[in-house]
Amino acid sequence: MKRTACLLIFLVTALSVGCSRQPKTFVLVAKPTAYGTAIVESSGGKQTAGVGTPLLQPVVLQVNDEQGNAVTGALVILHGPSGIYLDPAAGTTDSSGQFTTNVSLGVIPGRYQITASTTTKTGKTAELKIEEIAFGYQEMLGSQLNDQYCARCHNQESSPERVSNYDNLEVKPHPFTEGDTLNKMSDADLTAIISHGGPALNKSPLMAPYGYTLSKSEIQAVIAYIRMVSDPPYGAPGIVYAQK
């Protein structure tokens, strides 16, 4: 009797272990050969891409020592929210002290914060947070409309193909990343200023009205885009919980 019971218990455990075993992923991490004190971004932060798509430029990070010189062979480990794909997620810095990784964003539109860390000699970790932005359909449409109608004035950057008009304007437009100003404006305000031009909110008439050019949903898309790229991030008015 006892033997049968033992056998049964053994079988059940073996079975359950066999079924529930999940493939565990081990990140193979190279051993650091050197240590830095700080980690800085070289390029690749604040990029935008459609949901689930890879960023056009890789993220390049650099590990520096106390004097600010690049450190070769320092360990860099990256963490991101679920959905984000980092290739590779960890490694050591190359001969110029840099670590390069390709990033694919998750499927939910929004900001993705990646934390990069390196261990220092004393065993502490130095951290750096960088943000990348994933566009959903609306934001993507908004970004296209921005390119077509808004960017020539609202973006200070010039390229040989597209010279910015920003410097020519007496009253300077707000770049869409300027969260400090734009986050204070409600969606209704933004809709008004886009539809009826600057004078609608007692602002510069150099901002022309686009209400007869863009459809309602297009204006919404532009606003969704502005909200997504603003820095500091735009926080939607919080959910008000019922008081009990």
Partner 1 sequence: MRLPDPLEKLRQRFFGDTVRTFGWISLLLLILLAIAPAKNHFADWRRYQRGYEHLIRTRSDAVTLQRHFEPGVQQIWLPEMGVVDRCTTCHSALKETTLMDVTIQPYRHHPDIPHKLDEFGCSVCHRGQGTATSVEDAHQSTLAWEEPILPAKYLESSCGQCHQQDLKGTPQLNLGRKMLTQYGCVHCHTVKRPDGSTITGTDDPPTLTHIADKTSREWIYAWLKDPQAYATTATMPNFKLKDEDARDISAFLISSSTPASLKLVQASLDAAKKVKDDAALQTKAASLYGESFCASCHAVQNAAGNLVGGNVGPELTKVGSKVKPEWLQAWVRNPHDYDPPTGMPHYRFSDQEVGLLTGFLMGKSDSDLLANVHLDAATPEQIAHGKRLVNDYGCASCHEINGIKRPENFAPELTKIGSKPANQLAFAPGVPHTLYDYINAKIRQPRAFGPGLKMPQYTFNTAQVDALMNALLSHNERALTMPAAKTVAALPVSHYEPAGKAGQLITDLNCFSCHAINGRGGDMAPDITWEGSSVQRDWLVQFFRNPNTLRPALIRRMPKFNLTDAEINTLTDYIMTVYQSPKIDRDSMPLSGYSAGQVELGKQLYYSKYSCQACHIIDTKQDKGYIGPTLSHVGSRLTAAWVYNWMKDPQALRPGTQEPKRNMSDDDARALTAFLMSQKGRDGQEAKKR
Binding site for partner 1 (CB under 8 A): 1, 4, 50-54, 56, 102, 104, 107-110, 136-138, 140-141, 144-145, 148-149, 152-153, 160-165, 167-169, 204-210, 212-213, 217, 220-221, 224, 236, 239-242
Please tell me the distance from the alpha carbon of residue 27 to that of residue 239, in angstroms, as a whole number: 39
What is the number of other CB atoms lying within 10 angstroms of the CB of residue 49? 19
Residue closer to partner 1 (CB basis): 37 or 143: 143
Closer CB to partner 1, 25 or 168, in the complex:
168
Taking CA atoms, 64 is separated from 42, 71, 89, 99, 121, in Å, by 11, 5, 19, 12, 12
Closest distance of CB 9 from partner 1, Å: 17
HSE-up of 49 (CA within 13 Å, CB side)? 22
Query: Between residues 1 and 188, which has the closer beta carbon with respect to partner 1?
Result: 1
At closest approach, how far in Å is the CB of 84 from partner 1?
A: 12
Shortest CB 235 distance to partner 1, Å: 10
Asked whether the beta carbons of 202 and 129 are under 8 A apart, the reply is: no
Quote the CA–CA distance of 62 and 199 in Å, as a whole number. 47
Report the residue number, 66 or 131, with the smaller CB distance to partner 1: 131
Cβ closer to partner 1: 57 or 115?
57
Rounded CA gap, 100 and 31, in Å? Answer: 17
Q: How far is the CB of 50 from partner 1 (least distance, A)?
A: 7
Give φ, ψ of 13 to 5 degrees.
Answer: -60, -45
What is the smallest separation between the CB atom of 228 and partner 1, expressed in angstroms?
11
Alpha-carbon gap, residue 106 to 103, rounded angstroms: 10
